[in-house]
Amino acid sequence: MPTTDRARGRLAALLAPPLLWLVLAYLGSLAVLLLSAFWTTDPFTSDVVRSFTTDNFREILGTPVYRTVALRTLGIAVTVTLLDAALALPVAFFMARVATGRLRRALVVAVLTPLWAGYLVKAYAWRVMLGEHGIVNAALEPFGLRGPGYGVSAVVIVLAYLWLPYMILPVYAALERLPARQLEASADLGAGTLRTLGSVVAPAVRPALLAGSVFTFSLSLGDYLTVQIVGGRTQLLGNVIASQVTLDLPLAAALSAVPVALIVCYLAAVRRAGALDSL
Amino acid sequence: MTEAARAAADAARTTAPHAVRLTGVAKDYGPVRAVNDVELTVHQGEFFSLLGPSGSGKTTLLRLIAGFERPTAGRIALAGRDVTALPPSRRDVHTVFQDYALFPHMTVEQNVAYALTVRGVRKAERLARAREGLATVRLDGYGPRRPAQLSGGQRQRVALARALIDSPGLLLLDEPLGALDLGLRHEMQAELKRIQRATGVTFLLVTHDQEEALTLSDRLAVLDGGRIEQTGPPLEVYDRPASAFVAGFVGTTNLLRDEAAVRVVGAPGTYSIRPERIRIAPPGSVPGPGERCLPGRIAEIAHAGAHTRFTVRLEAGDDRLTVLRQHTARLPEAARTGAAVNLVWDTGDAFAVPG
Nearest to B101 among A185, A191, A204 (CB): A185
Edge to edge, the sheet with strand B350-352 lists B254-257, B270-273, B350-352
pLDDT in tens, A156-183: 999 999 999 999 999 999 999 999 999 9
- pLDDT on residue B205: 96
Which chain A residues are closer than 8 Å to B114 by Cβ?
A: 186, 189, 191, 199
- ipTM entry: 0.80
Contact A186 B114 (CB under 8 A): yes
* Closest residue in A to B118 (Cα–Cα): A191
Contact B115 A186 (CB under 8 A): no
- pLDDT on residue B16: 67
Transcribe A127-179 into DSSP letters.
Answer: HHHHSTTSHHHHHHGGGT-----SSHHHHHHHHHHHHHHHHHHHHHHHHHHS-
**What are the CA-CA distances from residue B79 to residues A191, B44, B88, B112 (Å)?**
21, 8, 15, 24
Distance CA B20, CA B75 (A): 11
Contact A190 B103 (CB under 8 A): no
Distance CA B68, CA B87 (A): 7
* The length of chain B, given as a count of residues: 355
For residue B149, pLDDT over 90 is answered with yes
In this prediction, residue B1 has a pLDDT band, given cuts at 50, 70 and 90, of: very low
- pLDDT on residue A131: 87
Domains of chain B: 12-242 (3.40.50.300), 254-352 (2.40.50.140)
Distance of CA B253 to the CA centre of its chain: 18
For residue B11, pLDDT over 60 is answered with no
For residue B6, pLDDT over 80 is answered with no
Distance CA A262, CA A252 (A): 16
**Angle at alpha carbon of residue B341, lines to B340 and B343, rounded to 5°:** 145
Domains of chain A: 64-278 (1.10.3720.10)
Contact B89 A204 (CB under 8 A): no
Which chain A residues are closer than 8 Å to B66 by Cβ?
A: 184, 188
Q: End-to-end CA distance of chain A: give it in Å, rounded.
A: 37
Q: Is the Cβ of A195 closer than 8 Å to some Cβ of chain B?
A: yes
Nearest to B118 among A189, A203, A204 (CB): A189
Contact B101 A179 (CB under 8 A): yes
- pLDDT on residue B58: 93
B220 backbone dihedrals φ, ψ, rounded to 5°: -145, 160
**What are the CA-CA distances from residue A156 to residues A80, A123, A224, A249 (Å)?**
6, 12, 13, 28
Contact A185 B66 (CB under 8 A): no
Helix axes B123-136, B182-199, angle to 10 degrees: 120
Which chain B residues are closer than 8 Å to A203 by Cβ?
A: 103, 105
Contact A146, A133 (CB under 8 A): no
Which chain B residues are closer than 8 Å to A179 by Cβ?
A: 99, 101
pLDDT in tens, A67-105: 899 999 999 999 999 999 999 999 999 999 888 889 999
* Closest residue in B to A194 (Cα–Cα): B118
Please compute the mean of the pLDDT values over residues A147-155 and round it to a whole number.
89
pLDDT in tens, B186-217: 888 998 999 999 899 999 999 999 989 999 99
Please compute the mean of the pLDDT values over residues B302-307 and round it to a whole number.
82
**Angle at alpha carbon of residue B285, lines to B280 and B286, rounded to 5°:** 115
A45 backbone dihedrals φ, ψ, rounded to 5°: -100, -10
- pLDDT on residue B8: 56
Contact A190 B93 (CB under 8 A): no
Using DSSP, state whether A15 is helix, strand or coil.
helix
Residues linked to residue B272 through DSSP beta bridges, in sequence order: B255, B351
Q: Is the Cβ of B68 closer than 8 Å to some Cβ of chain A?
A: yes
pLDDT in tens, A212-263: 999 999 999 988 889 999 988 888 988 888 888 888 888 889 998 888 889 9
- pLDDT on residue B282: 84
Q: Chain B closest CA to A227's CA: distance in Å?
A: 41
Q: Is the Cβ of A113 closer than 8 Å to some Cβ of chain B?
A: no
Q: State which of A19-23, A114-118, B22-26 shows the largest mean pLDDT.
A: B22-26
Contact A184, B88 (CB under 8 A): yes
Which chain A residues are closer than 8 Å to B97 by Cβ?
A: 181, 184-185
